[in-house]
Structure 1
Amino acid sequence: MTEGAAVERTQPADTLPPSLRRNAPLVPTDSSASRALAAVIAILTFLAALCAGAAEIVASSAAQWQGAVANEVTIQIRPSPGRDTEADVAKATELARDAPGIAGTRALSKTESERLLEPWLGSGLDLGDLPVPRLITVRLAGGDPPADLPALRQRLVQALPGVASLDDHALWISRLSTMANTFVGVGVGIVALVLLATGLAVTFATRGAMAGNREVVEVLHFVGADADFIAREFQRRFFRLGLRGGVIGAAAALGALALGGALARLWRASPAGDEIEALFGGFEIGWRGYASVVLIGVIASIVTGIVSRVAVRRFLD
């Protein structure tokens, strides 16, 4: 056989369409529809991972705020006619300092107490004639024995009746906890909706692939292939698509979160950075945040495989 005849014999096999070549996959993954589905999964995974990272940032910042607020209480001394306010402040400071479980006290001066009203009243006002309460910050030790705040409140009421009051910030901590839990719950709900959207997209893509490969499926049934074999083929291919999209989306989310943390650290010394840190904390999600982002990428690929298998079985049945 001449060399030209050999070339002529092998040429028709090389020019066959991809779907008819030997060892061609049942569900092609390099088609335009497959690439579009992988892009959709990547985008949805990116959005879900960003929501999870943001929820973790809020939860971490709220925990830091609650820890800082819970470790400190405030004693308020209201000016009263006929009483020496400075003496009342000194008496309340002494009572707090002598109480067990107290790490330190600091009495704010009259000027410092008036400056605390500037965010609401503005600066430049003369508050000298107003009965501005004096504040004493009390830092709790947090060790053993713990601070007995009810006993300290009772001693203040007995020593300075109608003048001194103790605020343990319980209401503020409760509201902060409620706000953080609400935000985290909303983030979890958004993640669930995004995963649901991923499942719907995979369902429609699977039905389209089944319709486009109807002749191949019928031939497989004719030669004895059962529904489980066909479903496994579709599940394997769509799982790879989901894994590709999940990896791309999770990697993009990790990059965005890392970039946000780097920018926050870069702006930390500026006034804008101080405002961002006061609102969002240190912009650090920790290992749990990064783990949740990676987990969402894995879940997206698993959802893709499971949904494709269910859609194929329903189509075949």
Structure 2
Amino acid sequence: MVRFGYTMMTEQAGPRELVEHVVGAERAGFDFAVISDHYFPWLDAQGHSPYAWSVLGAAAQATTAIPLMTYVTCPTVRYHPAVVAQKAATVQLLSEGRFRLGLGSGENLNEHVVGPGWPAAHIRLEMLEEAVEIIRELFGGGSVNHHGRYFDVENARLWDLPDEPPPIGVAVSGDRSCELAGRLADLAIAIDPERELLEAFDRSGGAGKPKVGQLAVCYDVDRDTAVKRAHEQFRWSLGGWRVNAELPGPAAFEQASRYVRPEDVAESIPCGEDVNVFVDAVRPFVDAGFTEVALVQVGGAHQYPFLEWAEATLLPALRAMRPAGPSATLED
């Protein structure tokens, strides 16, 4: 059965609000929660970007059962992998085993702030592979020394280790990342409902492992208001991964998305309150083979109406979904 999650979108809410939102998501019955790990918002209109790991620590204490996950952390430029391993182990302890560490090769938007330059895509994947290996070795306990192509670790050890280390997820977007994830990760992460990605992950050792997708939605009782908000805050998402990984800041995303129309956004982000529209948007992920789908409600100030609607209407409808064919609708 597919599980449905809630996204703490750090780009659109402050730290205290994010913790309150995930408490509400647990109360509403979401199966899990994920959090973005950014230094910048995508657009100025979003207006936030607190430190995700502080939010996770607070969320681990404020909730009791909902699983938590980074979606995703880049462990190669802004953070050293040895530090990521320590943070992840600590959150696993604080949450009493509810944490999963989602990793990816990152975006220039967030990683450029420490100043070493933005590597080419194939270099970023090589760095990610080495980082995952370091993190796994530190999760294993004992002293770690590592002198690799991209990272050095000198006599490192995690002194506070959970009994079960956090499962590691890796974001996939092409053959190389699918191979890496299938071989080294415990789960796959993707933002597009592409069956081919999951099949490539399975061929590389991922068969039977969880596959986690994510979809932006914009609930509002007035559809036009929802479309306007989605356009103001999420038009950047139509640029695609190859573009979005490279742009250096919100001003660049403003420029790149200046010709995106509200109707363009509404074609990819379900807007309004028609639950069938939301179910139809989620269905491609289910049909592609995703075992989990995390939803992002667009607009930091619009979480509570969404959570109430999700509890009463959306989550029951998603769990009653028939994952077969584009014409399937909800049962009468």
TM-score range, shorter chain: under 0.3
- Tell me: higher relative CO, structure 1 or 2? Use CA pairs within 8 A at least 6 residues apart: 1
Q: Which has the higher helix share?
A: 1
Larger Rg: 1
TM-score by length of 1: 0.22
The structure in which a higher percent of residues are strand is 2
**TM-score, normalised with respect to structure 2:** 0.21
